[in-house]
Amino acid sequence: MSANEQTTGWSGGKNAFGDFAPGMVHYTDKVLFDDVWERQDLSKRDRSLVTIAALTAMGKMDQLKFHLAFARQNRVTDDELREALLHLAFYAGWPNGMGATSVLKGIIEGQS
């Protein structure tokens, strides 16, 4: 089986949209998570940090909520996440850094 044929069994898109948006389900589950996230040139841990930086910079808190929790699964520690968000606040804007830190606080404290 080639790298493009392997699947992780990811079903986040299916869980979110069911049959409502089949294209979104396909590209989320099969392309983004089965293909892009499984590439070998960056670790999932590094991919998580890059994704968190991009989502924080764009102020995309709904998606960030998932990706901060996912980063914890990918071996990024809570202290590293706090530090990354502090660092990002200076580059991505203070409101975005504050918003992201609030999302992380909710995750760590089990409010999300």
pTM of the model: 0.86
- What pLDDT is recorded for position 63? 96
pLDDT surpasses 60 at 47:
yes
φ, ψ at 99 (rounded to 5°): -60, -45
| pLDDT (tens digit per residue) in 15-37 | 989 899 999 999 999 999 999 99
Q: Tell me the one-letter amino acid at 87.
A: H
Sign of CA dihedral 29, 34, 39, 42: positive
Is residue 67 located within the same domain as residue 25?
no
Asked whether the predicted pLDDT for residue 92 surpasses 90, the reply is: yes
Q: What pLDDT digit, counting tens, does each position of 51-68 carry?
A: 999 999 999 999 999 999
Q: What is the pLDDT of residue 11?
A: 82
The residue range of the domain holding 91 is 44-108
Pair (67, 93) in one structural domain? yes
Q: How many domains does the chain have?
A: 2
Using CA atoms, how far apart are residues 60 and 44, in angstroms rounded to an integer?
20
